[in-house]
Amino acid sequence: MIERLEAARQSLESRDTEELSLSQIEADISTLNSRQQQLQLELEQQRSALQRIQEQSISQTETLEELMQQTPPEPVAPPVDAENHRLKQAIDALQASATRRHEARLIAARLDQAILQPRIRLLRLETQAGDLNWR
């Protein structure tokens, strides 16, 4: 968007000012003003998105800390009937499933956190660039 605004300014500067009518000048000013407003709106949207993502990152960090503090599921007590091989296999499978479920939550939380960081950096850079263009 900044490039289009600069291109419009350059095209105005390149024109011979004697050839421009008042209505052309007013139309160009109106176009530049609307483009400037659009750029300001986009910059505000980027700031808003950055704030939301930062809040999401804080929430995700808290979730990750909570999951890391949770202990893995306790082992299930062995069955009374130690000879029942199928029951023992079912209990082992249940235990393995609970452990995998706990680990999966941790992995998902870590991935979510890792994905947010590059987005935050990108939006920070974009908003900083937008701020510099207005100075």
For residues 93 and 29, what is the distance between their CA atoms, to the nearest angstrom? 72
Would the pTM of this model clear 0.85, i.e. be above it?
no
Instruction: Let me know: does 129 contact 77? Beta carbons within 8 Å.
Output: no
Q: Is the dihedral of CA 9, 13, 14, 16 positive or negative?
A: positive
- Asked whether the beta carbons of 68 and 100 are under 8 A apart, the reply is no
For the stretch 96-107, pLDDT in tens is 888 899 889 889
Residues 6+ apart with CB under 8 A from 51: none
Which two structure tokens, joined as six digits, stand for 134? 């207005």
- Residues 5-56: pLDDT tens digits? 677 667 666 665 556 688 888 888 898 888 888 888 988 998 999 999 999 9
What whole-number distance in Å separates Cα of residue 125 and Cα of residue 133? 12
